[in-house]
């Protein structure tokens, strides 16, 4: 039987008619090389942002179910248009919504998780010699049968989940850069493309803000043994392959610098120093599905004193998080303060496990730049610092330089993003 290849095209790669036709040609070429092809497409260009803005024009707090009905339309448009372009190239194609493609999720609107892929309709279409276009970023909830969406960047996860269900040879993520770089090439022009990266490092990178692959797509690929190849949709060059084990030949101390400018911090003052205090606070946040990132708490210095807890959440969740905590005021804390303009810079590298002194170097570099570190968290292969949002860009550039991550194959040789 012919092998299956899943090809995912991101928003920039299908932004206008010319690019949709270009994607259609690449899909057809892969089919003509003797593969069965499923293409997962994102919404065109800034469509998702525009849909969110539309919702906010009519409602201060848009209803999540209706938000998903609205947001899911963007990827459907891309798929229908691309199917038309493929027909004109002389191939049979069919576009499917997430629900038609059998993407079953839990019920959490706007951040749903895929729990099953019932791929029989995709398989049938492939058996009928069709190219299948699946609308990314969406599914149908298992009990209420509502349309759901998978969170920003969710088409990556659709592609990986479909690849897993079909036993695809590879899941190719076509995007507007050549692959995964040592830092976001938009802010570090001499960042270097990595030929391969381990799941372990890619997970840390995705979790700390490298939006090139959605975190859940990397988790899903690791759990289901899917091979990801992240590459350029504009040129036919090899990109970055995510491997179960990193390349032992490529084991630098630090692999990448990542960042996020979309953080917010909440600080709770006057938290009782007793068992269960933190549990109450974080249970309230879990109930409303807010993903807490960094948490810092100190034991009160004096006996009978009260603790302070600070933690970060994605800025878009700040309102939900504060609303969930307000009823606990008095019993679980006395005061809550919020900082909206936070960012985060992280360095990731499996090599740091066996090398002391990396943290000291990070802090020194940031100090030399006059960047104030507000929170710190580490894992065996990552050091993250929460800093002011407007210092993030400079901090990333300084760390990338200090750890000597630049090299050949940088973005400066690549064609412009606007191509």
Among residues 233, 173, 235, the alpha carbon closest in space to that of 206 is found at: 173
d(CA 366, CA 342): 16
Q: Could you tell me the maximum CA-CA distance found in the chain, to the nearest angstrom?
A: 78
Residue 273 C-beta-side C-alpha neighbours within 13 Å: 12
Q: Are 104 and 114 in contact (CB under 8 A)?
A: yes
Residue 314 near which of ligand ADP, Mg ion, ligand ASP, none (CB within 5-8 Å, type-dependent): none
Q: Using the rule CB under 6 A, is 33 a contact of ligand ADP? A: no
For 228-257, give the DSSP string.
Answer: EEEEESSS----EEEESS--TTS--S--EE
d(CA 91, CA 83): 9
Q: How far is the CB of 403 from ligand ADP (least distance, A)?
A: 14
- Tokens representing 26? 């690449």
Q: Which is nearer to Mg ion, 137 or 199 (CB)?
A: 137
Q: How far is the CB of 345 from ligand ADP (least distance, A)?
A: 12
Return the residue of 4, 5, 7, 12 that touches ligand ADP, per CB under 6 A. 12
Q: Using the rule CB under 6 A, is 177 a contact of ligand ADP? A: yes
Q: Which string of x and - marks every residue 3-22 that binds Mg ion (by CB under 5 A)?
A: -------x------------
d(CA 108, CA 139): 11
Sign of CA pseudo-dihedral 254, 221, 186, 239: positive
Q: Using the rule CB under 6 A, is 9 a contact of ligand ASP? A: no
Q: Which is nearer to ligand ASP, 13 or 397 (CB)?
A: 13
Residue 177 near which of ligand ADP, Mg ion, ligand ASP, none (CB within 5-8 Å, type-dependent): ligand ADP
Q: Which is nearer to ligand ASP, 35 or 48 (CB)?
A: 48
SS3 content of the chain, % helix, strand, coil (to 5): 35, 25, 35
Q: Are 416 and 202 in contact (CB under 8 A)?
A: no
Q: Using the rule CB under 6 A, is 98 a contact of ligand ASP? A: no
Return the residue of 118, 186, 353, 355 that touches ligand ADP, per CB under 6 A. 186
For 95-140, give the DSSP string.
Answer: EE-TTTTTEEE-S-TTS--EEEE-THHHHHHHHTT-EEEEETTEEE
d(CA 257, CA 383): 10
Q: What kind and span of H or E run contains 368? A: helix 358-368
Q: Which stretch binds ligand ASP (CB under 6 A): 40-48, 61-69, 83-91, 186-194?
A: 40-48
Q: Which residue is nearest to Mg ion (CB)?
A: 153
Left, alpha or beta for 370 (phi > 0: left; psi -120 to 50: alpha)? left
Q: Using the rule CB under 6 A, is 141 a contact of ligand ADP? A: no
Q: How far is the CB of 319 from Mg ion (least distance, A)?
A: 24
Q: Which is nearer to ligand ADP, 85 or 411 (CB)?
A: 411
Three-state secondary structure along 157-187?
HHHHHHHHHHCCCEEEEEECCCCCECCCCCC
Task: Give residue 129's Cα distance to chain centre.
Answer: 33
Residue 210 near which of Mg ion, ligand ADP, ligand ASP, none (CB within 5-8 Å, type-dependent): ligand ADP
Residue that the structure tokens 């897993």 belong to: 164
Q: How far is the CB of 365 from ligand ASP (least distance, A)?
A: 32
Q: How far is the CB of 212 from ligand ASP (least distance, A)?
A: 11
Q: Using the rule CB under 6 A, is 211 a contact of ligand ADP? A: yes
Q: Using the rule CB under 6 A, is 153 a contact of ligand ASP? A: yes
Q: Using the rule CB under 6 A, is 74 a contact of ligand ASP? A: yes
Q: Which string of x and - marks every residue 44-63 that binds ligand ASP (by CB under 6 A)?
A: ----x---------------
Q: Are strands 114-117 and 36-41 parallel, antiparallel or unpaired?
A: unpaired
Identify residues 199-258 at the interface with ligand ASP (CB under 6 A): none
Q: Which is nearer to ligand ADP, 189 or 225 (CB)?
A: 189
Return the residue of 154, 179, 185, 246 that touches ligand ASP, per CB under 6 A. 154
Q: Which string of x and - marks every residue 151-170 that binds Mg ion (by CB under 5 A)?
A: --x-----------------
Q: Using the rule CB under 6 A, is 386 a contact of ligand ADP? A: no
Residues making contact with Mg ion (CB under 5 A) = 10, 153
Residues making contact with ligand ADP (CB under 6 A) = 10-13, 42, 153, 175-177, 180-181, 183-186, 210-212, 256
Residues making contact with ligand ASP (CB under 6 A) = 10-11, 42-43, 48, 74, 136-137, 152-156
């Amino acid at each position: 039987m012919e092998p299956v290849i899943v090809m995912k095209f991101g928003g920039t790669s299908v932004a206008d008619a010319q690019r949709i036709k270009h994607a259609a040609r690449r899909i057809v070429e892969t089919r003509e090389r003797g593969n069965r092809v499923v293409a997962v497409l994102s919404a065109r260009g800034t469509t998702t942002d525009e849909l969110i803005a539309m919702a906010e024009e009519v409602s201060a707090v848009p209803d999540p179910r209706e938000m998903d009905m609205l947001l899911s339309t963007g990827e459907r448009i891309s798929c229908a248009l691309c199917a038309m372009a493929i027909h004109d190239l002389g191939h049979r194609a069919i576009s499917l919504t997430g629900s038609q493609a059998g993407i079953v999720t839990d019920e959490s609107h706007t951040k749903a998780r895929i729990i099953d892929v019932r791929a029989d309709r995709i398989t049938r279409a492939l058996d009928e010699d069709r190219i299948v276009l699946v609308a990314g970023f969406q599914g149908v909830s298992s009990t209420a049968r509502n349309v759901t969406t998978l969170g920003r960047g969710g088409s990556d996860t659709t592609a990986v989940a479909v690849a897993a269900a079909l036993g695809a040879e590879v899941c190719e993520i076509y995007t507007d850069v050549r692959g995964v770089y040592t830092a976001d090439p938009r802010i570090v022009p001499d960042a270097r493309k990595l030929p391969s990266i381990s799941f372990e490092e890619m997970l840390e990178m995705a979790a700390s803000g490298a939006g090139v692959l959605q975190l859940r797509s990397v988790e899903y690929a690791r759990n289901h043994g899917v091979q990801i190849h992240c590459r350029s949709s504009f040129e036919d060059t090899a990109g970055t392959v995510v491997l179960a084990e990193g390349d032992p030949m490529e084991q630098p101390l630090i692999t990448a610098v990542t960042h996020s400018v979309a953080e917010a911090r909440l600080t709770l003052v006057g938290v009782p120093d007793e068992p269960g205090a933190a549990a109450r606070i974080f249970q309230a946040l879990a109930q409303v599905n807010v993903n807490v990132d960094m948490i810092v708490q100190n034991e009160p210095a004096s006996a009978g004193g009260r603790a302070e807890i600070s933690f970060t959440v994605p800025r878009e969740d700040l309102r939900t998080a504060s609303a969930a905590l307000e009823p606990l005021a008095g019993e679980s804390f006395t005061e809550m303060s919020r900082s909206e303009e936070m960012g985060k810079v992280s360095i990731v590298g499996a090599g740091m496990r066996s090398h002391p002194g990396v943290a000291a170097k990070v802090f020194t570099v940031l100090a030399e730049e006059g960047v104030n570190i507000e929170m710190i968290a580490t894992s065996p292969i990552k050091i993250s610092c929460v800093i002011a949002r407007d210092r993030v860009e400079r901090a990333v550039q300084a760390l990338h330089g200090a750890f000597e991550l630049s090299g050949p194959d940088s973005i400066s040789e690549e064609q412009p993003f606007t191509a």
